[in-house]
Amino acid sequence: VAGHPAGSLGSTSTLLYSPYGLTLDSMGNVYVADTSNDRIQFFLAGQTNATTIAGVTGIAGATNQLLYFPYAVALDSTLNLYVVDTWNYRILKFQRY
C-alpha cells in the first residue's frame, strides 16, 4: 500500500522510515505515523504518493508544527487527527485535513 516494495527506507513522499501507527478513514485514506521522519503522512485511497500533514520531514522539535518520534494516530468521528508525540510527552489534535 505504501513505502518501497523492496523495503528501502527514505524521506520522500513515497517512502517511509520506521512507520509505526496507522489509521484509515471511511473513504479508505491512510494516515501513517512515519516515526523516524518525525511526520504524519496522508495517503489518498489507492495512491502511493503521500502528503505530510503534521510535522516537518526529518526535523524533530517541540513546537506546535514539529513532532518528535510520533508513534500512533487516531481519528475521531469528524476526522480530527490525534497524534501520540512520544518524545515530547504529549498528544496533539489536528483539525480535519
Question: Is residue 29 domain-resident?
Answer: yes
CA distances from 94 to 10, 17, 46, 50, 64 (A): 25, 22, 23, 17, 10
Residue 74 falls inside a structural domain:
yes
Summarised one tens digit per residue, pLDDT across range 5-64 is 888 899 999 999 999 999 999 999 999 999 999 999 999 999 999 999 999 999 999 999
Q: What is the CATH number of the domain that holds 50?
A: 2.40.10.500
In a domain, 8, yes or no: no
**Model confidence at 4: pLDDT above 90:** no
Which residues partner with 39 through β-bridges? 34, 55
Q: Residue 40 belongs to what domain range?
A: 19-94
- What total of structural domains would you count in the chain? 1
What was the pLDDT predicted at 56? 98
Q: What is the pLDDT of residue 3?
A: 86
